[in-house]
Amino acid sequence: MKAITIWQPWATLIMAGFKPFEFRGWPVPKSLVGQRIVIHAGARALKRTEVNGLLYQMSNGEFVGGLDVSAMRLLADIMQGRRQLPTSAGLGTAVLGAPKKSFELWPDEFKGLSDSDRAECSNWAWPLTDVQHFTPIVPARGAQGFWNWPWSGGPQ
């Protein structure tokens, strides 16, 4: 099974069902479309400024890549220290859908961004569905891009 490492809070937002897409500058390999992959929370420490920025954008009705506004409560809990997010761990799995160009999903939001750094990093939206949680989560080192999950499934 393949895995993808995603920084926090985005890995947890996917697992909580608030983030239906992962954004990358490249499309999903065709061989992985329709396959179940492991969602791995990277080792990078959570950046409170990023969480605060998401809260600010959402509270002002700004575009945040299809992120469900219900995520605001989870993000507020993180900012208030009521919720700690795991790092360096497999959180669960999701089915990877066919990639879509972000500007095709949200033409108004991506209009005029073709020369920006943001558009370069988020020009492919990867749908993630049928989320299944590992109980407990599985401590593991991650890697860039897709990598081989060392176990046949979830917790060992």
Average pLDDT over residues 122-138: 93
29's tokens: 């390999």
Residue 38: Cβ within 10 Å count: 26
Q: What's the pLDDT score for residue 121?
A: 55
pLDDT at 155 over 70: no
pTM of the model: 0.89
Neighbour count for residue 50 (Cβ, 10 Å):
14
113-132 as b/e, with b when 16 or more CB fall inside 10 Å? eeeeeeeeebbbbbbbeebe
* Model confidence pLDDT, tens digit, residues 70-90: 999 999 999 999 999 999 999
- The pLDDT tens digits of the residues spanning 135-152 come to 999 999 999 999 999 987
pLDDT for the residue 116:
40
Residues 6+ apart with CB under 8 A from 56: none
More confident call, 29 vs 154: 29
| pLDDT tens-digit series, residues 16-75 | 999 999 999 899 999 999 999 999 999 999 999 999 999 999 999 988 888 999 999 999
CA 153 to chain centre: 20
Task: Give me the percent of the chain exceeding a pLDDT of 90.
Answer: 75
Domain 2-148 has CATH 2.30.130.30: yes
Q: What is the mean pLDDT of residues 118-132?
A: 81
